[in-house]
Amino acid sequence: MTDFLIKISTWFFAKRCGHFGKNSIILPFYSLRGINARNIFIGDGVSIGMFAWISTVESFNGKKYSPRIEIGDGTSIGRYCAILANKKITIEKNVLISFRVLITDHSHEYSNIGIPISMQGITDGKPVLIKEGVFIGSNCAVLPGVTIGKNSVIGANSAVTKDVPDYCVAAGNPAKIIRQYDENKNKWVAVK
């Protein structure tokens, strides 16, 4: 990938955002289909990989939303990631997100069994917060209403459906806490 392509890709994205910090980049082939990127705020030194899909949903099937995505300084987002908000997603600084990760604050509605799911609209968002220093492994899903605590690790292929406290390792589907930092012992310990 040439520097020229990266600069052009970044320039076009930055022009559409609410804020795009200095020394931040977004690699080519990202998707902003059908949205206004003014609801996306990116800090300094952020790196977003190829084929990222970053979307704020302002309306769907006649329903209006007030979405916002905030990505903090020094965060790195891998290839093929999707960040989708109709409420609010906050990713604090120095977060490391591997490839093929989904972060969403909403889902597709499915309550009416007489209508195809694709025609039922989407649920109202529940804010997602990913705190400073988190690492999210590849192929994970972070679902509506979740908070992931400071410096926590989410193992590859996990579905995060509930909050994860600070300084924990969570893995599985659904993700469960498997290790936690013990301040008294000054080390990581297994959780049974």
Whether a cis peptide bond, with omega within 30° of 0, leads into 174 is yes
H or E stretch including 14? Answer: helix 3-16
∠ CA 42-144-137, rounded to 5°: 65
Catalytic status, residue 108? yes
Q: Which amino acid is at 6?
A: I
Contact 141, 114 (CB under 8 A): no
Beta-carbon-side half-sphere exposure of residue 106 (alpha carbons within 13 Å) = 23
Q: Which of 16, 38, 108, 162 is catalytic?
A: 108
CA 62 to chain centre: 25
Q: Which residues are catalytic?
A: 108
